Amino acid sequence: MDTLEINSRMKSLPHWDLIDVSGMPEIQRVYKLKDFREALNFTDQVGELAEKEQHHPTILTEWGKATVTWWTHTARGLTPDDFNLAAQCDSVYESKSYLQK
């Protein structure tokens, strides 16, 4: 996926940042949450989504926030899967389904 396509897809993910990790592009969003419990529940739901799709992010779980990062190891960069999964994470966040557990 070239820079032009990446920039185009980033426009549909206004809360995500394009970051450079040792020369490799990745996308990252920090989700604000109420406390550790909410961050843990959200992590669990993003993790279950990743398992279902068999495409996996890194998730940093902290008190009051969760940071999700997507990239595709085999492509050494970004693929449409990364952007699709990022959008699905936003849907989980907006649905507030992580409030129930």
Residues near a second copy, by CB under 8 A: 36-37, 40, 43-44, 47-48, 50-51, 56, 58-63
Q: Are 72 and 54 in contact (CB under 8 A)?
A: no
Distance CA(99)–CA(66), nearest Å, equals 14
H helices within the chain, ranges in order? 3-10, 36-53, 80-95
| Smallest distance, a second copy to C-beta of residue 14, A | 25
**Residues constituting the chain:** 101
Q: Which of residues 63 and 80 has its CB atom nearest to a second copy in the complex?
A: 63
Q: Which of residues 50 and 78 has its CB atom nearest to a second copy in the complex?
A: 50
Residue 82, amino acid:
D
Place of tokens 């999964």: 85
Q: Which of residues 16 and 39 has its CB atom nearest to a second copy in the complex?
A: 39
| Smallest distance, a second copy to C-beta of residue 65, A | 10
| Smallest distance, a second copy to C-beta of residue 4, A | 29
